[in-house]
Homo-oligomer: A and B are copies of this chain.
């Protein structure tokens, strides 16, 4: 059974900056996650997204689609990267459990020979690719069924503990700029920011998702 062509608001393309297939794929991932969890677009700080994307590879654009569909944004601290290098994400909503959405290999294989990627592999940026090529590959995404696109795994026992927030801040006693307390260091008895401390500015933040189901 074919779905009707999926609709994505124009502003999501404006936010993202160009037309490519992976922003729409992410938009659909976010949409199906909301449906499966039985929740709406998240105005504040409800839905957490653990994206399995990493660095140094394409297709991360799907994360902009997820944010646009759900408002579980990077800015609000609702999206983290797990650095697994997969086109997948786990969505966790307090009290509702989690759901993992993975873009099927078969759909990745279906898209791979498209002319769009011939341009990309030559180093041509998405905004420079002829519109009929981009529109065609996006239509393939928008016309696919959820089942053609995704493996969806419900994770009712998924546990996630977001970092606890604090409003406490103080001025760095060297440069004078306000710093949130978690990031103050001490140097020669003074409370200083990481830049003024000379310490390695390399906090390692990683949230281990824990699930009874995995």
- Indicate which residue in B14, B26, B84, B182 contacts A194 across the interface (CB closer than 8 Å): B84
Task: Chain B residues near A75: list those with CB within 8 A.
Answer: 16, 23, 26, 60-67
Q: Contacts of A9 on B, CB cut-off 8 Å? A: 11
Q: Report the separation of the CA atoms of residues A1 and B60 in the bound assembly, to the nearest whole angstrom.
A: 43
Chain A 121-146: CB-based contact to B (< 8 A → 1; otherwise 0): 10001111000000000000000000
By the criterion CB–CB under 8 Å, are A182 and B65 in contact?
no
Is the pair A86, B18 in contact by a Cβ cutoff of 8 Å?
no
Contact partners of A58 in chain B: CB under 8 A:
165, 167
Q: Which residues of B contact A56 (CB under 8 A)?
A: 163-166, 180, 182
CB-CB contacts below 8 Å: A77-116 with B? 77, 79, 82-88, 102, 105, 108
Which residue of the partner chain B has the closest CB to A125?
A: B44
Quick check: A54 and B180 within 8 Å, CB to CB?
yes
When distances are taken between beta carbons in the complex, the residues of chain B under 8 Å from A45 are 125
A198 within 8 A of B: no
Q: In the complex, A73 Cα to B65 Cα: how many Å? A: 11
| A125 cross-chain contacts in B, Cβ below 8 A | 43-45
- Copy count, this protein chain: 2
Q: How far is the CB of A113 from chain B (nearest CB, A)?
A: 13
**A74 and B67 contacting across the interface, CB-CB below 8 Å:** yes
| A155 within 8 A of partner (CB) | no
Between-chain CB contacts (< 8 Å), 19 pairs: A17-B41, A17-B42, A43-B126, A54-B205, A56-B166, A56-B180, A57-B165, A57-B169, A57-B182, A58-B165, A63-B75, A64-B76, A67-B75, A83-B183, A83-B205, A85-B181, A85-B184, A86-B177, A202-B204
Interface set of A (CB-CB < 8 Å, partner B): 9, 11-12, 14-18, 23, 26, 41-45, 54-58, 60-68, 71, 73-77, 79, 82-88, 102, 105, 108, 117, 120-121, 125-128, 163-167, 169, 171, 176-184, 193-195, 201-206, 208, 214
